[in-house]
Structure 1
Amino acid sequence: MSAVEDFVHVFEPATRPDAPTLLLLHGTGADEYDLLPLGRALAPGAALLSPRGRVDENGMNRWFRRLREGVFDVEDLIARTAELAGFVEAAVRAYDLDPKRIVVSGFSNGANTGAGLLLLHPGLVAGAVLLAAGAPLQGREPDPVDLSGTRVFLGNGTADPITTVDQGRLLAEQLRGRGASVRREEHPGGHQVPAPVLDRAREWFAGSDF
């Protein structure tokens, strides 16, 4: 059985009653503190659960291995995503969280991992805010899981050289094809999160009734 100690992490309890929990997944080279400001901006008062990726790539924290830039080790992604799902389930028990009110939010490598959680572990989270995310199973069609009731916000840059906008569009198709409600926001920038996209994500979150 997984334990919360399996991942280095930060947990900040909710500061308002009946608030959801944000599962925060950082990008390559960051750590468990990196997305705390994003979590506070997205959902003021929500509980924040922010683990650190357990893969070391030349001293940089990641969630799963890659073979080279832009090419994922899909088998490792599947295995690491299962480990993360076990951590989330353990955190629900340890911190007395509502398992039906967990929303994953990630950037880049963390967003790809969040997409993996949705497609490989349906029902683990209620929704997602994924920024600079692409289809995580590269070249494989995900299983026909049921994501009805799952709400997802995707933000992608049309000039992103790392996660191309086509990958973001493919992820949206995969999620919608499995019943998820998806809102996509494209911006003209690259591998980043512009303020207007964050503002729209915050508005979407507030209106999603998590």
Structure 2
Amino acid sequence: MRRKALAMDEEAKPKLFRTGREMKRRRGGEGESQCTQKTISLQSPLGTIQVRGCEAGVHTMRLLMDVAPAERNDQGPGSCEVIDGSAGAGPELLRCVDWLRDYFRDPGAAGGPLLPRLHHPTLRGDSFSSRVLRTLLQEVRFGETVSYKRLAEMAGNPRAVRAVGGAMRRNPVPLVIPCHRVVPSSGPSGAYMGGRGNHLKVWLLAHERPGG
């Protein structure tokens, strides 16, 4: 009887694990499934920017990096215009478009009331990553930088410096949540977008400096 019970337990395990994964997928997808998202593409001094969001707020922002660094100075500071997807866009996506235009024309102006609402699931939770991202958005202003260590302290865990780096890599809305302002305690400005966009980080920090 004991051998039979053990055999039944072994047979049940794959089903239980599969059910758990399926439940996790359903729970993880609930926030997204309730959102009808739309994408707006803009041409900016950084190249093409794609902003995706729903009626409740912006979910993601992607910098496609399709403009060579040497070409960025040839575009005017206010040259951020929609190239696709504005028809039928919700108010928060349009607010984000206005924010981006302000940012490239005058970074200081983008800190005003036009900041778009954010609706990515990562930002709605209470994980350390979400606290780091919210702290960065609320506390580190235009023209400022903050070290990974200091940001960990500000988010409530001074020892979680590596976790801050992970949060920066997972930032769903770069520019709006300014991960380019997070720098090492010493040395160069540090990696940006997984090391692929270090030149963008340098450009953004210079753009935000007074007279930049």
TM-score, scaled relative to structure 1: 0.28
Flag the structure with higher helix content.
2
- Ranked by relative contact order (alpha carbons within 8 Å, sequence separation 6 or more), the top structure is 1
Flag the structure with higher strand content.
1
Find the structure with the greater CA-based Rg: 2
